[in-house]
Structure 1
Amino acid sequence: MPKKKPQPPHLKIISHRGASGHRPEHTLASYELGARYGGDFIEVDLVATADGHLIARHEPEIGQTTDVASRPEFADRRRTVTIDGREVTGFFAHDFTLAEIKTLRAVERLPDVRPYNAELNGRYEIPTLEEIVDLADELTRELGRPIGVYPETKHPSYHASLGLDLEPPLIALLRERGLHGPEPRLPVFLQSFEADSLRKLQELEVPLVFLMGTGEQWQRYTTPEGLAEVASFAQAIGPEKSLVIPVTEEGGLGEPTSLVADAHEAGLLVHPYTFRSENHFLPPKLRSGDDPTAYGSFAAEYEAFFAAGVDGVFTDHSRHAFLAREMFLAQA
């Protein structure tokens, strides 16, 4: 009998846009490093090109994450659109064909916080979902453990208004690659901030994650009644992490809310976002000084959330999450 591949611990490390604390986000290099640093899942934001291909970008606006603004041949593509009620000016993936997208190169979205990533500007292509699945397969074989995929439909209603629905090509590709059903070939979670998008993906029979921000539109879902409603169309929630453990007025981590316990009572997993190790992102009391690029006491933050009972974390620094998980599980 073939040797069974080892399964990761129950606490999942979700490499947020890859190892985006170490490489420009949403590049194959970032995804690969996230897995090599201990990540269990490659997390992907999906947007559509003009010809309907799914590519990995943080938003439909690609001016801040590619070199498109410096390319004179595309200068006339700059425009202003309204996305979910907000005016955005820039360059948009849906105004480019995949062939045009492939001529662009990724740049660091947060150069002031991650100047070392900015040194890699121009080195990496913009990947398609197909290429990301291929990479997950390669890494699974090489590392001897399953590397899952965790795609998000990004602004699905907006894409639908353009006639570029994200769900049909996502469903088609996952079916083609055997990433559907109760036992997909690789672990799969699908995520969205929009419940209707998740409902369209239910036919794949894989775990669905309802993302929850801190705005008013999500408040009702944080109650036991709201979580019961979420459980009718999803298997997990992805809350902004302050919904699990708020930051106090003094700048430290407060007491956990009841969200994790309430979600578990509703049968939902909890994967909060986003854990980052730089001082810039940490609560004031966990910072190591005034340098926003330096690492602070990230391990203390992970430990608090693991102790609160979360089932996984979205992280820009997979290695840090991996080491924190190892320490936490060794003490359990």
Structure 2
Amino acid sequence: MTPLVIGHRGASGYRPEHTASAYRLAIAQGADAVEPDVVLSRDGALVIRHENEIATTTDVAEHPEFADRRTTRVVDGVERTGWFTEDFDWHELATLRCRERLPDIRPANAGFDGSEPILRLSDVLAIALEADRDVSVVIEVKHAQYFEDRGFAVAALVLAELERSGWGARQAQVLFECFELAVLDALTPFGAPVVFLTETRGAPADEVASMGDRARPFSWFRTDSGLDALAGRVDGISVAKRDLLTVDTIGRATGTADLVARAHARGLLAFTWTLRPENRFLNPRFRSAGGPAEWGEWEAEYRAILATGVDGVFVDHPDRYLAVLRDAA
């Protein structure tokens, strides 16, 4: 089966991530779906940003009126310093402009800095509806427990926005994902697939909050026992690309793991993130000569991932990865 090709934060290999132009370009290039990350503003707006800390992806630091909002927070156990969406009302966030998150790797994208505003979930849903074909939206809820602890009913806000934006009957075009299970449980009644994201290391923030040291690590969820626990609770699992590769002692890929097959055996879908062509993001086996921004043997890495039977891939360059699928057909 041909996997879904999901524009990761839009076509973020060509435009600053989470901008309207990135989403429209991903759709124009043929992506089956686009993936917005959802965080929250102080007044409950569903803001589309990779993180709630926005110094690296917006021009907030250049706004003197917001200088006193710079602060330090612990988010999911990690101390961060910067500006956080939950300290702004939506009308304040709307005055900011987006910037390329990886300017050293993607300097051409940085040429678009300052040209587009931040989006809300409603904006991405509207862009998907502009398409002349059905385009799915993979909604990733970020830091759910963190926002719940601050009084936000995260799942209820997301579901209300889907209804308000005319997506209440579009379950076939929606997929929810999160690194935490509790919010996925709360989103399940909508009727769209829910997919549990796993990091290579660490543990789900909601389990850490409720279980402390007894929280089950992400790695456990990729074992047979973990997959058994997920079956029936979620519809799929989404894993870091590195967790689909077997590697030698120096980290070079030697083959692929059986994780996808084990997930499928339990009726679970299997997705992977994020496929990118630059050396910085490739397994060492597939890197080329040159620096981190040079493109390596990304097609070979992609074919290795496809050979696992994965159901969906998150990519920054939808056109390039779709071309490999067409060539293989």
TM-score using structure 1 length: 0.91
Aligned residues of 2:47 and 2:121 also touching (Cα < 8 A): yes
Aligned equivalents of 2:269 and 2:325: distance in 1? 17
* SS of aligned partner of 1:254: strand
Query: How many residues align structurally?
Result: 315
| Shift >6 Å, 4+ stretches | none
* SS of aligned partner of 1:272: strand
1:34 equivalent in structure 2: 26
The Cα shift of 1:251 comes to 5.2
Q: Aligned partner of 2:292: which letter?
A: P
Aligned residues of 1:149 and 1:186 also touching (Cα < 8 A): no
1:97 equivalent in structure 2: 89
The Cα shift of 1:292 comes to 1.8
In terms of fraction of residues, the more strand-rich structure is: 2
Aligned equivalents of 1:82 and 1:256: distance in 2? 36
TM-score using structure 2 length: 0.92
Superposition pairs of residues 91-130 of structure 1, within 5 angstroms: 91-130=83-122
Q: Aligned partner of 1:170: which letter?
A: V
2:320 equivalent in structure 1: 320
Q: Aligned partner of 2:79: which letter?
A: E
The Cα shift of 1:180 comes to 4.7
2:234 equivalent in structure 1: 234
Q: Aligned partner of 2:53: which letter?
A: E
Deviations 1:9-32 (A, max 9, x none): 741001111111110001111111
The Cα shift of 1:176 comes to 3.4
1:215 equivalent in structure 2: 201
1:162 equivalent in structure 2: 150
Deviations 1:31-76 (A, max 9, x none): 1111112211110110001110001101010111100011111000
Q: Aligned partner of 1:289: which letter?
A: A
The Cα shift of 1:250 comes to 5.2
Is residue 173 from structure 1 mapped to residue 153 from structure 2 by the alignment? no
Aligned equivalents of 1:179 and 1:224: distance in 2? 35
The Cα shift of 1:246 comes to 3.2
Aligned equivalents of 2:58 and 2:114: distance in 1? 8
Q: Aligned partner of 1:121: which letter?
A: D
2:275 equivalent in structure 1: 275
Aligned residues of 1:47 and 1:166 also touching (Cα < 8 A): no
Aligned equivalents of 1:248 and 1:147: distance in 2? 39
The Cα shift of 1:178 comes to 4.7
| Structure 2 unaligned regions, length at least 5 | 203-216
Deviations 1:119-156 (A, max 9, x none): 111011101111100000002x2xxx211100111000
1:187 equivalent in structure 2: 173
1:6 equivalent in structure 2: none
Q: Aligned partner of 1:104: which letter?
A: L
2:134 equivalent in structure 1: 146
Q: Aligned partner of 1:292: which letter?
A: P
Deviations 1:180-222 (A, max 9, x none): 56xx266111000000010010110110010011115111111
* SS of aligned partner of 1:146: coil
Change (3 A) 1:47 1:278: same
Aligned equivalents of 1:254 and 1:156: distance in 2? 36
Aligned equivalents of 2:289 and 2:117: distance in 1? 35
Aligned equivalents of 1:35 and 1:221: distance in 2? 33
Superposition pairs of residues 16-95 of structure 1, within 5 angstroms: 16-95=8-87
Aligned residues of 1:146 and 1:186 also touching (Cα < 8 A): no
Aligned residues of 2:144 and 2:154 also touching (Cα < 8 A): yes
2:190 equivalent in structure 1: 204
1:255 equivalent in structure 2: 255
Aligned residues of 2:288 and 2:294 also touching (Cα < 8 A): yes
Range that drifts further, 31-40 or 193-202:
31-40
Superposition pairs of residues 268-307 of structure 1, within 5 angstroms: 268-307=268-307
